[in-house]
Structure 1
């Protein structure tokens, strides 16, 4: 059965990293194998800055950024191939020329459309180099254009997958002719051949899409960490690895802000019971983490998510009426339109409380809209702690010395909101 590997930007950020990728793949002789690759390093950020320069009419800035992008990729090609760099360099040059041409052609189009025609080149460039390198070191590959594989609608920057059309397009990729199929993450295409992108965590999602349509045996996402943890190791000094959790548990953790796999990646895998494994490309001997159907391990270890820079809105009807279903429907509809996620929702007879990520460009228009029709009390610079499968002693210890401003809990999950200045520094989990 087919295996799907996904490599992010950190795993191919330069020539040395691409060499390590080749060495890694040489150790895995599984076939059929589909390899999904992101853009190199911070290339997507560079392309977004290039797009801004193009749309702002900053001609000199645009040319400088385009040339920097060209030089960086050609330097990687030179470092990898040396005297044999010519053919690969020509393909890279051709892609940069096409990127420039598209900017000129689409300069007057709406930004989401222009964005997708620009940012997709990060993955096109990286996979061109990676595929050529694998061939160079003796691994036969077939480079595939994800815009011709992943069929989507024309909702640019957040395209929706046409699953039936995609399944038809990828038919045959699971044939075992010894070649590794290399394609791009994050990228799709409409029926008319227009480039689209899949939105947040799009490269992981690409791997899941292909796995679903190919009835793959497994998806492996290669990261610079050994697996999934029960808390952010940068904030919790004794976080532990979760070696096995279920799809549902991983989705719950992601919903509450954990840096795990995005729910949209997990859902198509869950539908066909395809396990997802997270492994370290830096330490192949480190035990991985696997997400699958087995729920036996979900409650063994408490998981903690700390979301900072939160804003609490306490919303009340001005006429002292009840916060009934029509009013809640109105408020939550505005939240959807603003593109904001409420990490905590609590309601009373005359109150609805929302804890939101503090994105000023989205939050401020929402608050202004709500203030037109409701009495709104606002609290900024807060931190939301979510604990899954914790007990009262754990919650009490974590809350000690902190003022709880709001709380919500059910059988599996407890949430408490604290002033942000009381949540600085490193936390310790009292298991």
Structure 2
């Protein structure tokens, strides 16, 4: 089988849902399974519902109505003559969501989040299922929660591979076109779980692994994997071929085209991954597979914005030793602050980090008892794989370099812009 993954941008409105049907008719859909994300910004909208549930329940109906309006408008655009089956199923999904909101007793934010946010994928795939049926593309709607089984680490669940593989092998027919959801699974008690933000790519890899798939194709609004983010670089180059190792390296440093967890199960079974354009589906795109590391051989630029550069030195000007570094990392882990670059000298230690959960002030008060702490806020981390002499100069124009680290393949620079 082949696995096709369509992300939120590819089904964000009625025009793009119609385009999915066109893509399938052009590239073929025999022996295929489709994994779809929530439509457009639906996950963000459902996160507002979660926030209202905890912080201002009197406003929850307003937030939920936005989600309803968006999905019913897309359904009406696709089916000007009302399609009873689709609208009935959509109403049933919203009724189940509202029942949870009215009866839940758990105060666990992560649990509540997973029970609510996954409805984005369920709604999207119900709409896609009915529209493809209307186009003569016969398909089977499949609930991923009955297939992908996980532990109870809500919002970042770990897959039970043995049970998941057994479920998928038993319930997926290779002769039918299946449409299922990315991002979601369920625990042993049947409660919904999610696989981490942007986890739909990972879902596609899970299905590919369990089915020994021929390939996975991720359909995006870009022609493939580019050597730089076009939001920050005017000139970009399409990467035609990446090895699994190179793709994992790029993902580790923060390249956003391929989800980091997606690559490991594909590599284990040597299943090739294609990143292609749903706008121009006949273009070759990028292939990630075993083999040549990078074609063409060119510098790859990765940018992480909104970073924090922290520099620490001992209060008594003594050396920064292993036990000091161990304690620093223990605290960074405790406060859930992600480290992207480290650099140390005899009497100082610097880290470039992401303070995603705004814990730095609490961490700083603890560190200040042991170290002199200085920091730069709102800095950018530029990573260049396969850098050339002029690569750094291209990045540094009109910017202030705060930290630089170089090895054989990669240069990293923390910059104030």
If the TM-score is normalised by the length of the shorter chain, which range does it land in?
A: over 0.9
In structure 2, which of residues 279, 282, 287 is the aligned counterpart of residue 285 of structure 1?
A: 282
Q: How does 1:223-262 map to 2 (within 5 A)?
A: 223-262=220-259
- TM superposition shift of 1:200: 2.4
CA deviation profile, 1:375-406 (whole Å, cap 9, x unmatched): 21112232222211112343345435544221
- TM superposition shift of 1:364: 2.5
- Aligned equivalents of 1:304 and 1:372: distance in 2? 38
Whether the aligned pair in 2 keeps the contact of 1:22 and 1:137 (CA below 8 Å) is: yes
TM-score (norm 2): 0.95
- TM superposition shift of 1:30: 4.2
- TM superposition shift of 1:11: 0.9
Structure 1 residue 64 and structure 2 residue 59: aligned?
Answer: no
- Residue 64 of structure 1: SS of its match in structure 2? helix
TM-score (norm 1): 0.92
- Aligned equivalents of 1:57 and 1:394: distance in 2? 49
Q: Identify the residue that residue 374 of structure 1 maps to in structure 2.
A: 371
1:189 and 1:397, CA in 2 relative to 1: closer, same or farther beyond 3 A? closer
In structure 2, which of residues 335, 338, 361 is the aligned counterpart of residue 338 of structure 1?
A: 335
In structure 2, which of residues 154, 163, 176 is the aligned counterpart of residue 165 of structure 1?
A: 163
1:41 and 1:403, CA in 2 relative to 1: closer, same or farther beyond 3 A? closer
Whether the aligned pair in 2 keeps the contact of 1:299 and 1:389 (CA below 8 Å) is: no
Q: Identify the residue that residue 52 of structure 1 maps to in structure 2.
A: 51
In structure 2, which of residues 211, 214, 228 is the aligned counterpart of residue 217 of structure 1?
A: 214
CA deviation profile, 1:153-178 (whole Å, cap 9, x unmatched): 0000110111111101101455332x
Q: Identify the residue that residue 142 of structure 2 maps to in structure 1.
A: 144
Whether the aligned pair in 2 keeps the contact of 1:35 and 1:180 (CA below 8 Å) is: yes
Q: Identify the residue that residue 347 of structure 1 maps to in structure 2.
A: 344
- Aligned equivalents of 1:158 and 1:137: distance in 2? 36
Moved more, 305-314 or 221-230: 305-314
- TM superposition shift of 1:362: 2.9
Q: Identify the residue that residue 270 of structure 2 maps to in structure 1.
A: 273
Moved more, 198-207 or 371-380: 371-380
Whether the aligned pair in 2 keeps the contact of 1:250 and 1:260 (CA below 8 Å) is: no
- TM superposition shift of 1:6: 0.5
- TM superposition shift of 1:193: 0.7
Q: Identify the residue that residue 123 of structure 2 maps to in structure 1.
A: 125
For structure 2, which runs of at least 5 residues remain unmatched after alignment? none
Whether the aligned pair in 2 keeps the contact of 1:153 and 1:159 (CA below 8 Å) is: yes
- Residue 98 of structure 1: SS of its match in structure 2? helix
- Aligned equivalents of 1:117 and 1:401: distance in 2? 47
Q: Identify the residue that residue 6 of structure 2 maps to in structure 1.
A: 7
4+ aligned runs moved over 6 Å, structure 1:
none
Q: Identify the residue that residue 81 of structure 1 maps to in structure 2.
A: 79
- Residue 278 of structure 1: SS of its match in structure 2? strand
- Aligned equivalents of 1:248 and 1:283: distance in 2? 27
- Aligned equivalents of 1:88 and 1:188: distance in 2? 23
- TM superposition shift of 1:360: 6.3
Q: Identify the residue that residue 40 of structure 1 maps to in structure 2.
A: 39
- TM superposition shift of 1:257: 2.2
- TM superposition shift of 1:289: 0.8
1:73 and 1:218, CA in 2 relative to 1: closer, same or farther beyond 3 A? same
CA deviation profile, 1:187-245 (whole Å, cap 9, x unmatched): 01012111001112211111111111111111100001111111111211111111111
Q: Identify the residue that residue 28 of structure 1 maps to in structure 2.
A: 27
Moved more, 317-326 or 18-27: 317-326
- TM superposition shift of 1:74: 1.9
Aligned length: 417
Whether the aligned pair in 1 keeps the contact of 2:336 and 2:357 (CA below 8 Å) is: no
1:298 and 1:313, CA in 2 relative to 1: closer, same or farther beyond 3 A? farther
Structure 1 vs Structure 2 CA RMSD: 1.8
- Aligned equivalents of 1:69 and 1:382: distance in 2? 35
- Aligned equivalents of 2:82 and 2:397: distance in 1? 63
- Aligned equivalents of 1:44 and 1:296: distance in 2? 35
CA deviation profile, 1:123-168 (whole Å, cap 9, x unmatched): 1111111111111211111111111111100000110111111101
- Aligned equivalents of 1:27 and 1:247: distance in 2? 28
- Aligned equivalents of 1:22 and 1:189: distance in 2? 29
1:338 and 1:299, CA in 2 relative to 1: closer, same or farther beyond 3 A? farther
Whether the aligned pair in 2 keeps the contact of 1:249 and 1:298 (CA below 8 Å) is: no
